[in-house]
Amino acid sequence: MEAIKQFFSGLSWEQEFVIFTTLKVCIVLFGAVLPIVAYAVLVERKVSAWIQDRVGPNRATPFFVKYLPVVGPILVRLGIFHPLADGLKSFLKEDFTPAHVRKVYFWIAPAIAVVPAMLALAVIPFGSKLGDQKMVIADLNVGILFTFGIISLGVYGLVLAGYASNSKFSFLGGIRSSAQMISYEIAMGMSVIPIFMLVGDLNLSKVIAYQADGAWLVFKQPIAFVIFLVAAFAETNRLPFDLPEAETELVGGYHTEYSSMKFALFFIGEYTAMIAASAMMVVLFFGGWTLPFAGLNESATTFAMGLAHIGIFVSKMLFLMVVFIWVRWMLPRFRYDQLMDLGWRRFVPLALVNIVLTAVVLWALHPK
C-alpha cells in the first residue's frame, strides 16, 4: 500500500493524468458501457417479452450453472447468460461482405457509428470524486458543445452504411437517418440553451453543482426537458422514431446488408448512444450524481461516498434507459411527415419560445 502511494506521489502531473485517464477510459468503457449495452439488450428482450405476455430469452445455460442451488435456475430463467451467448455468436458468425457493396465505406461505417457515441461519454461527470480523482474522463469547460459536436458525427456512420451497402433498403434508411438526425439536432441544441442561461457555464460539472445547490433543472425547465427527451429518442433512432431501421418497411434499414460483428457494432452504437443520451439527461436535468438528502449533495470526501455517488448516477441513468426501452413497446412508429412536422414545426418554435421566456424571466429576476 505504501509502495503504491509512493509510486503515485513520485509521478509528475502529466504522468498521473495519463495513467488515470487511461484507467478511467478502460473502466468506463469495458467495465460499464459495454456490459450495460449487453444487458440493456437483454432488458429490452425481457421487457418486450413480459409486455407481450411472453417468457423471453431463458435458454442459454453455461455448464456450471446446474451446480448452483436455487440461484442457478433463476439466473437461467432471467436469461442472464444470453448476452454472453449473443456476444460470442456475433464473433463467430460468418462476416459476409456482399459482392455489390462499396467495400471501404462498408467496412468503416460500423466503426464510425460506434466511436462518436462512445466519445460523447468522455465529458459526462459520472460521480463526484474517488480519492483525489474527479469522476469524469475529460472535465472540459465546453462540455456540452463537445457532446453535440461529437454526437452529430454519428449520423455519418449510418449514412455511409446506407450508401455503401448499395441496396435500396439501406439507402432509404441512410437518407431517413440523415434527415431525422439533422432535424432533431437543432431542436435538441436549442432546448438546452436555457439551462446554460441559468447555469452560466458550459462545463457539465458546473451544471451539476448548480443543481446540487437548488432544485433539479427538470423542475425549472420542464419544456426543455420534454424537447430534449423526444429529440434524444429521435437522435438514437429509437421507437417511435426508428424510421431509419423500420423493420416492417425497410427490412433492417441501413444495416440490412451487415452481418456478424459489423452488425453488432451498429447495435453497440445504438445502445451506447442511448447510454450517452440518458447520461446527458441525468446530468442536465436530474442533478447528475447528487441526491438532495443525506448529505449526498456535497462532493465526496470519503471513498465510500464517492462510490455512492457513482451508484446514484448509474441508477438514474438506468432508470432513463428503462424508459427508453419501455416506450419502444408502448408507441407505434411515426410516419415520416409526422416526424418532420414534429421536429421543425413544433419543437423548434417551442424551443425558441422557451429561450425567450427564460431570458425574460432571468431579466426580470436579476435586472442589472
Partner 1 sequence: MIVKRANLTLWERLFLPTLLGGLQVTGKHFIRTVFGGKAVTMQYPEQKWVVPEGYRGAPYLVRDQAGDTKCVSCQLCEFVCPPKAIKIIPPGDSSLKADRANAEKTPKEFEINMLRCIFCGFCQEVCPEEAIFLQRDYSLTGETRDEMIYNKEKLLALGGTHAGVQKWKQKLEEAKGQETFPVKD
Binding piece for partner 1, criterion CB under 8 A, among 48-56, 100-108, 131-139, 262-270: 48-56
The verdict on 50 binding partner 1 (CB under 8 A) reads yes
Of residues 73 and 98, the one with the C-beta less far from partner 1: 73
CA–centroid distance for 297 within its chain: 24
Min separation Cβ 76 and partner 1, Å: 12
Of residues 103 and 346, the one with the C-beta less far from partner 1: 346
The rounded distance, in Å, linking the Cα atoms of 194 and 227 is: 12
Of residues 54 and 102, the one with the C-beta less far from partner 1: 54
Who's near 126: CB < 8 A, 6+ residues apart? 28, 135, 136, 279, 289, 310, 313, 314
Min separation Cβ 331 and partner 1, Å: 6
Binding piece for partner 1, criterion CB under 8 A, among 49-57, 108-116, 183-191, 247-255: 49-57
What is the b/e burial string over 92-106, where b = at least 16 CB atoms within 10 angstroms of the residue's CB?
Answer: eeeeeeeeebeeebb
The verdict on 337 binding partner 1 (CB under 8 A) reads no
The rounded distance, in Å, linking the Cα atoms of 240 and 234 is: 8
Tell which positions 302-331 bind partner 1, by CB under 8 A.
326, 329-331
# residues contacting partner 1 (CB under 8 A): 12
Min separation Cβ 36 and partner 1, Å: 21
Binding piece for partner 1, criterion CB under 8 A, among 44-52, 81-89, 163-171, 299-307: 44-52
Of residues 117 and 243, the one with the C-beta less far from partner 1: 243
Cα radius of gyration rounded to whole Å, the chain: 22
Binding piece for partner 1, criterion CB under 8 A, among 42-50, 119-127, 133-141, 275-283: 42-50
The verdict on 344 binding partner 1 (CB under 8 A) reads no
Of residues 186 and 322, the one with the C-beta less far from partner 1: 322
245 three-class SS: coil
Q: Which of 51, 353, 357, 359 binds partner 1 (CB under 8 A)?
A: 51
The verdict on 55 binding partner 1 (CB under 8 A) reads yes
The verdict on 202 binding partner 1 (CB under 8 A) reads no
Q: Which of 29, 32, 34, 49 binds partner 1 (CB under 8 A)?
A: 49
Residue with C-alpha cell 460500423?
A: 110
CA proximity to 265, closest of 161, 152, 120: 161
133 three-class SS: strand
Min separation Cβ 342 and partner 1, Å: 9
Report angle CA 346, 348, 351 to the nearest 5 degrees.
105
Min separation Cβ 330 and partner 1, Å: 4
According to DSSP, residue 101 is labeled: S
Binding piece for partner 1, criterion CB under 8 A, among 51-59, 83-91, 185-193, 286-294: 51-59
Residue with C-alpha cell 429529440?
A: 231
If 0-12 CB within 10 Å is exposed, 13-18 middle and 19+ buried, where does residue 32 land? middle
Number of H helices, E strands in the chain: 17, 2
The verdict on 54 binding partner 1 (CB under 8 A) reads yes
The verdict on 336 binding partner 1 (CB under 8 A) reads no
Q: Which of 29, 47, 75, 362 binds partner 1 (CB under 8 A)?
A: 47
CB-based contact 111:105 (threshold 8 Å): no
CB-based contact 162:173 (threshold 8 Å): yes
The rounded distance, in Å, linking the Cα atoms of 198 and 217 is: 9
Phi and psi at 184, nearest 5°, equal -80, -20
The verdict on 52 binding partner 1 (CB under 8 A) reads yes
Min separation Cβ 313 and partner 1, Å: 25
The verdict on 248 binding partner 1 (CB under 8 A) reads no
The rounded distance, in Å, linking the Cα atoms of 339 and 328 is: 16
CA–centroid distance for 169 within its chain: 26
Binding site residues, partner 1, CB under 8 A: 47, 49-55, 326, 329-331
